[in-house]
Structure 1
């Protein structure tokens, strides 16, 4: 039965390439810019190594590290950072998450999947966490759209 649980977990895959990271970040920036939201966008590969860090004009400096932590958390735990934010909101034993120094429990981090496996992550910071999440989702959608393009 333990093997069944491992098989159902999203696996780590080959790392995201820089060209894909650029497309993800550009889509995220375009979405943020349309709304007048100054953001910091971080994209990491499947080993949590930074591929791209982009700070839009007037994005708050504190968001640089937060965006990177969101991207790293999404990859390290293979799930959106919103999961941790929601768990903390429930209180009780979930508050133990605050003792972990390797996660950012704020919405705005998403794993980036290629062929169903974690290839990287995006982390966005600069506005309210629900707005950060929308920008991250726009970036992730660009990678999904690129995967649907026919190979030439």
Structure 2
């Protein structure tokens, strides 16, 4: 039997604090979502001024990244390059850049999804959060 690392509440708080700091340093009103490797929400935080829809998009990006074990931007790129069949993939809703999987010792243990600014900036915030952990 193999064992793998998993996110603790303390880990999630570290990721969230670092992601929030990155967003605030750039004056970006976003929603930050963190989930485990099964796509189950562990954290949702909507910063002041973030659009209400971002509280739906950020978790979808996180879930897509965790379940797919890759950044959500990969799906966006596939679709933009003509592979529109991914639009019908089950459990895959956040098909935009901004979901980044958390990899520890080669295992995806969760993901961070961010929504509210340009997709590349969403990803920047997610990666800043993850950097606080790994």
- TM superposition score normalised by structure 1: 0.81
Residue number in structure 2 paired with 1:121:
111
Residues 84-130 of structure 1 deviation map (CA, whole Å, 9 limit, x = unaligned): 11111212xx0111123522110000111222211111000011111
The DSSP-based 3-state class of the residue aligned with 1:41 is strand
Question: Across the two proteins, how many residue pairs are aligned to each other?
Answer: 132
* Structure 1 residue 40, shift from structure 2 partner: 0.3
Residue number in structure 2 paired with 1:77:
68
More helix, by proportion: 1
Can you give the 5+ residue segments of structure 1 that lack an aligned partner in the other structure?
A: 1-10, 145-152
Tell which structure's C-alpha radius of gyration is larger.
1
Moved over 6 A (4+): none
Q: Using a 3 Å threshold, how does the CA distance of structure 1 residues 27 and 12 change in structure 2: closer, same or farther? A: farther
Indicate whether 1:96 and 2:88 are aligned.
no
The answer as to whether partners of 1:12 and 1:117 remain within 8 angstroms in 2 is no
Can you give the 5+ residue segments of structure 2 that lack an aligned partner in the other structure?
A: none
Distance in 2, Cα, partners of 1:73 & 1:53: 15
